[in-house]
Amino acid sequence: QDGTLSYVKRDLEPAVWQLIKAQPASWVNPQFTNWEQQLQAAFEQTLAQLTAKFGNNIQNWQWGKVNELAIEHPFA
């Protein structure tokens, strides 16, 4: 839906860890020469996104703040 994987993210984690462990050459993005570069770029992109959303203070990146649970009661 709208190009998002939000509905299957939790199911993707085991597969992603298998890919990172196996590091098949066919899964390296053409803009990178190897898995190390690809993983480093992903890490840097994640840091940039967290910094943009939550600021430079890493204390603001705590689990409850970054992954805040919002529960809405069905009758409220």
DSSP codes joined into one string, 16-52: HHHHHHH--GGGS-TT-SSHHHHHHHHHHHHHHHHHH
Encode pLDDT of 17-72 as tens digits.
999 999 999 999 999 999 999 999 999 999 999 899 889 998 888 877 767 777 88
The domain locations on the chain are 9-66
Half-sphere exposure of residue 71: CA atoms within 13 angstroms, side-chain side: 1
Average pLDDT of span 13-19: 90
* Predicted pLDDT at 10: 73
* Predicted pLDDT at 26: 95
